[in-house]
Amino acid sequence: MYFLSPTSYAFGSLVRTLMRLPRSASNQSLEPTPPDLLIELVRSATRYVRLAAFSTAWLILFSLGLLMRIAIFLLYGLSVVFASANLDAQQTDAWQPSPGHTQVPIWPNGPPDAQPVKGPETVQTNTKDPVAGRPWVFADNVSQPTITVYPPKGKNTGVGVVVFPGGGYHIVAIDLEGTEICDWLTSRGITAILLKYRAPTPRVGPNRESPLALQDAQRSVGLVRFHAAEWNIDPHKIGVIGFSAGGDMVAEMSTHYGKRLYPTVDAADKESCRPDFAIALYPGHLLGNKDDNNFEINPNIAVTSNTPPTFLLQAEDDPVDPVRNSLVYYIALKKAGVPVEMHLYAQGGHAFGLRPTKFPITRWPQLVETWLKTIGMISE
């Protein structure tokens, strides 16, 4: 290598100087060295040592630099591989429940009126809009709806609740308004059944409703009643709870239980899909139109005296679904003589689930528990 040439030259100069040292003729031992030759010898040795040290240091630095380049290249390659793996996982992995729970497709031969989706189901985390300081998870591109049964913990009350997460019929807020709700229900001795319905789905009419999501909801309640004995549920104590768009599904289920929106699949569809009680939190899509002065209910929500007892809760500052959604539904229920309890709060916003915040509205689970006792679903 080129940086060894000066060192080689210095070494040769040192050898030549040593060869010039005078020796005795008899035993080849060194004789006294002349001063000028001694000085030259010292200079040659010094030159060689300096160049040797420089060459060694340069070689070490060069080797370290090469190793660093190799390390950087390897790290970069690994990062690309891992990034690609993560990307693939986001594109292909569907939501899965926690260990010990199994989700079951609700349509054995595929859902009716199936619509194409833009890709495989994905699970994503929203970190931009945390709730109570925590991100939340949602499922997207759901084309195969499922239910997941969460058995009660401790004493079984015999009550079963089908959970409809929100998401504007675009996504399914699977933990904030899904699994976390199930955990609360099971801790109170209630069997929770989480519905992962199709989303996004085509929305129809002026109120942007989703007939496909309603199909999934009807099928799910029928399945729960069909399997009530197997799942240790009282078939007369099956309710629904929903949030935002899921709150609309609650109202739809409470008024569209008489006729399925799909052909009969099996014996489960011969069971009634009428909920025995209904809980809607910050519901949307219940207004006749979006006019700020509108206090007319969505004409598709045909309330009758047989509509199940209902619990409503919403914040007056809800920026997504105006509080009028709850008001018009409350009025319609009262006119029909349906037992209804409504709680309105000045502040609280939208999509808070049951995560405690500074606003009193997030203490709503206690209100629901008390209401379930007053309507005879759970005992004191």
HEC string for 317-374 = CCCCCCCHHHHHHHHHHHHCCCCEEEEEECCCCCCCCCCCCCCHHHHHHHHHHHHHHH
Which stretches of the chain are assigned E, i.e. beta strand?
A: 103-105, 122-131, 134-140, 146-150, 160-164, 191-196, 238-243, 277-281, 310-315, 340-345
20 and 125 together in one domain? no
89 within some domain: no
Specify whether 177 is located in the same domain as 310.
yes
The pLDDT score that the predictor gives to residue 295 is 87
19 within a domain of the structure (yes/no):
yes
CA end-to-end distance (rounded Å), the chain = 90
- Least confident segment among 21-25, 260-264, 344-348: 21-25
Co-location of 35 and 156 in the same domain: no
Examine the pLDDT at 12 and tell me if it is beyond 60.
no
Alpha-carbon gap, residue 295 to 286, rounded angstroms: 10
Q: Residue 295 belongs to what domain range?
A: 95-374
Residues 143 and 236 placed together within one structural domain of the fold: yes
| Shared-domain flag, residues 48 and 103 | no
29 and 159 in a single domain? The answer is no
The confidence score (pLDDT) of residue 301 equals 95
pLDDT band with cut points at 50, 70 and 90 for residue 308: very high
Q: Give how many domains the chain has, as a whole number.
A: 2
Q: Which of 76, 104, 137 is the last residue of a domain?
A: 76
Q: Is 181 a domain residue?
A: yes
Q: Is the pLDDT of residue 147 over 70?
A: yes
Please state whether the predicted TM-score (pTM) of the whole model is above 0.95: no
- Mean pLDDT across 126-142: 97
The answer to whether position 86 is within a domain reads no
pLDDT of residue 54: 53
Q: Are residues 159 and 121 part of one domain? A: yes
